């Protein structure tokens, strides 16, 4: 399966969720490739910070030809996660065209909810070419026990796309793991951050079937 992690808005958690989702998929025994389609190269930086064995392969492909190259580059992998760029429209279009399922991280903030209309429009435009494509929101950086965390689902209901029931809470572990090029489960195997990522993986796999 090819999963495109996309949102035109910057800093919503595309790279954080991409590396952790890729790691979670790799943990199930799947062969996983992470494509860094962002010119900022954050996923490549994550991989470079890592010491020891990689959990999965990471390649940089910040070009609007991802959808044309993916069949070749993705050969031999069970799952491919594409970490998309913020803002760059032609790259985002290419990621949408490449993906079987687009996952849109959003933070529980009104600015993020408003800004999501850009990526939703791009997905709707691409629907002409990709009739079977699936797309869903995933709430990231939810703050535990706050109303804004609960309300975000309702606010996103204004868009025609579903919101995953699984969501990811704001936790310092995500930044700590990123600094070492690690996935959260490597720092805290039975912790809640790892459990939330696994829940996103399980729901996404079911959703994308």
By the criterion CB under 6 A, which residues form the site for ligand ATP? 10-16, 38, 40, 42, 86, 140-141, 168, 170-171, 174-175, 178
Residues 146, 179, 187, CA angle at the centre, nearest 5°? Answer: 70
Specify the residue, 155 or 193, whose C-beta has the smaller distance to Mg ion.
Answer: 193
Q: Residue 75 Cβ, how far from ligand ATP at the closest point, in Å?
A: 26
Binding partner of 171, given ligand ATP, Mg ion, none, CB within 5-8 angstroms per partner class: ligand ATP
Q: Residue 190 Cβ, how far from ligand ATP at the closest point, in Å?
A: 18
Q: Residue 7 Cβ, how far from Mg ion at the closest point, in Å?
A: 9
Q: Which helix (H) or strand (E) holds 26?
A: helix 14-27
Q: Residue 65 Cβ, how far from ligand ATP at the closest point, in Å?
A: 20
Specify the residue, 40 or 133, whose C-beta has the smaller distance to ligand ATP.
Answer: 40
Total residues at interface with Mg ion (CB under 5 A): 3
Q: Are 17 and 200 in contact (CB under 8 A)?
A: yes
Q: Are 135 and 123 in contact (CB under 8 A)?
A: yes
Closest CA to 196 of 16, 69, 54, 68: 16
Pairwise CA distance, residues 175 & 158, whole Å: 31
């Amino acid at each position: 399966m090819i999963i495109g992690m996309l949102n035109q808005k910057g800093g919503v958690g595309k790279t954080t969720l991409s590396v952790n989702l890729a790691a979670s998929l790799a943990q199930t025994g799947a062969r996983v490739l992470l494509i860094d389609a962002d010119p900022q190269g954050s996923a490549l930086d994550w991989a470079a910070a890592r010491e020891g064995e990689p959990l999965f392969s990471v390649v940089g492909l910040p070009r609007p030809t991802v959808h044309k190259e993916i069949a070749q580059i993705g050969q031999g992998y069970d799952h491919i996660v594409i970490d998309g760029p913020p803002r760059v429209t032609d790259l985002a279009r290419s990621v949408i065209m490449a993906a079987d399922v687009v996952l849109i991280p959003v933070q529980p903030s009104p600015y993020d909810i408003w800004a999501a209309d850009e990526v939703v429009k791009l997905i709707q435009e691409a629907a002409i070419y990709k009739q079977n494509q699936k797309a869903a929101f995933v709430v990231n950086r939810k703050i535990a026990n706050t109303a804004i965390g609960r309300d975000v689902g309702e606010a996103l209901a204004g868009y025609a796309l579903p919101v995953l029931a699984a969501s990811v809470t704001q936790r310092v572990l995500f930044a700590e793991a990123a600094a070492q090029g690690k996935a959260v489960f490597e720092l805290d195997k039975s912790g809640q951050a790892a459990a939330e990522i696994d829940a996103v993986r399980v729901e996404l796999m079911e959703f994308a079937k």
